């Protein structure tokens, strides 16, 4: 992901960005209800009142955190699309990115994967950001699959949209499976199966 400040990050002060980063880490550990402003205050070394100054409510903070995550993801996907590799290898590169993140626990899981499981119980404004993330990711995967099929480099058993849904479910399910068994390597085992099934015989 890009190291320079993105458009979404530019609207925040450095302290607010530190708060968002810590929120991302806490979300990855325990989901929406797994942390409080007191937890963030201890990590960032600020008073809770200072956090409320930047983000009046927890929903505001988590919405901002997901928005920053979405923009980083968007830039990352755009970078993959610019690589001189075929569409299948693009999906492999996406999967390997997450394999390396999960192995290093940095981050240990996509925060949107966790928040998606909490959709019925989280504020609507946060849910909307999470849904938008998955809609954008689905569109990118489906586009890669459509391109791969057109170039004869990928074998699809269903429409690009349906296959993209299956691939996305495999990747995010693999994240949860790896966490459930406490073994980061489980992610790549599942992700590799998800990409290998797309290879032309």
Which stretches within 83-159 are classed as H helix? Answer: 87-104, 111-117, 124-150
Among residues 73, 69, 78, the alpha carbon closest in space to that of 144 is found at 78
Q: How confident is the model at residue 11 (pLDDT cuts 50, 70, 90)?
A: confident
The Cα 28–Cα 25 span in angstroms is: 5
Amino acid 13: pLDDT = 87
The Cα 114–Cα 70 span in angstroms is: 14
Say whether pLDDT at 3 is over 60: no
Q: For residue range 100-149, list pLDDT tens digits in order.
A: 999 999 999 999 999 999 999 999 999 999 999 999 999 999 999 999 99
Amino acid 112: pLDDT = 96
Question: 88 with 200: CB under 8 angstroms?
Answer: no
Say whether pLDDT at 6 is over 70: no
Question: 116 with 134: CB under 8 angstroms?
Answer: yes
Mean pLDDT, rounded, for 53-68:
96
Average pLDDT of the chain to the nearest whole number: 93
Q: For residue range 162-177, list pLDDT tens digits in order.
A: 999 999 999 999 999 9
Say whether pLDDT at 63 is over 70: yes
Amino acid 1: pLDDT = 36
Amino acid 196: pLDDT = 96
Question: 89 with 151: CB under 8 angstroms?
Answer: no
Share of the chain above pLDDT 70, in %: 95
Amino acid 12: pLDDT = 82
Which residue carries 């999906």 as its tokens? 91
Report how far apart, in Å, the C-alpha atoms of 89 and of each of 86, 93, 143 are: 5, 6, 14
Largest CA distance in the chain: 60
Q: For residue range 185-200, list pLDDT tens digits in order.
A: 999 999 999 999 999 7
The Cα 49–Cα 43 span in angstroms is: 14
* Residues in the chain, total: 201
Question: 191 with 98: CB under 8 angstroms?
Answer: yes
């Amino acid at each position: 992901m890009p190291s320079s400040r993105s458009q979404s990050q530019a609207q925040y002060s450095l302290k607010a960005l530190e708060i968002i980063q810590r929120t991302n880490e806490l979300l990855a550990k325990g989901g929406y209800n797994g942390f409080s402003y007191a937890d963030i205050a201890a990590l960032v070394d600020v008073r809770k009142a200072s956090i409320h100054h930047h983000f009046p409510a927890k929903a505001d903070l988590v919405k901002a955190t997901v928005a920053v995550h979405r923009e980083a993801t968007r830039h990352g996907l755009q970078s993959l699309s610019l690589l001189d590799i075929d569409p299948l290898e693009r999906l492999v590169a996406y999967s390997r990115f997450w394999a390396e993140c999960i192995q290093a626990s940095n981050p240990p899981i996509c925060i949107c994967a966790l928040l998606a499981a909490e959709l019925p119980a989280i504020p609507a404004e946060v849910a909307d950001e999470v849904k938008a993330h998955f809609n954008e990711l689905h569109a990118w995967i489906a586009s890669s699959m459509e391109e791969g099929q057109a170039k004869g480099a990928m074998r699809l058993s269903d429409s690009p949209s349906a296959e993209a849904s299956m691939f996305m479910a495999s990747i995010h399910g693999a994240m949860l499976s790896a966490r459930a068994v406490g073994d980061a390597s489980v992610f790549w085992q599942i992700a590799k199966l998800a990409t290998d099934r797309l290879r032309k015989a």
